[in-house]
Amino acid sequence: MREEARTFLPYAALTPLAGSLAFTFDGVYVGATWNAAMRNMMLLALVFYFRPVVVLVPFGNHGLWLAVLGFLLARGSTQAGAYPSLLRRALRDEPGALNKDGRHDWTFPCAFSSPARRLIGFHLARRLMAEGHLSRASTA
């Protein structure tokens, strides 16, 4: 039994690495209430799962593990790929989010919940400030 389990141990060790991007973006998408986008990308990743399953079935459990790892990678990459456009759309669609200078002002009510603001985070605020879209006074 241990020998059989040891055979698949490398796949189990790779699972958190393959899924870390997907799991991280799950938190971002849930916090930002982008549930429909997350569902759509999950369905797309499922397509990327079923294709390898059909090809890898002859390899038994090795093929199944490889398909699951591919599924996790597909989830993470689709979420990472869609994130910039979803973020731009959310910032663009915020009611009253621009101050007089046309910069984003986080002190106004916006479409993000407070936890989602923290998830989107410090790095985004710094980037927007560097690009001149956000004033330092509005981040206080």
Print pLDDT tens along the chain (140 aa).
888 889 999 999 999 999 999 999 998 898 888 889 999 999 999 988 888 888 988 899 999 999 999 999 999 999 999 998 888 887 765 544 555 565 555 544 444 555 555 555 655 666 776 777 666 554 44
Taking the CA atoms of the chain, what radius of gyration do you get in angstroms? 20
pLDDT value at residue 109: 42
pLDDT for the residue numbered 91: 73
d(CA 49, CA 32): 26
88, two tokens:
């731009």
Contact 93, 104 (CB under 8 A): no
The reported pLDDT for the residue numbered 125 is 65
Domain ranges across the chain: 1-93, 95-140
State the pTM of this model.
0.65
pLDDT of residue 24: 92
Cβ atoms of residues 113 and 29 within 8 Å: no
End-to-end CA distance of the chain: 59
- Give DSSP secondary structure letters for 53-71: HHHHGGGTHHHHHHHHHHH
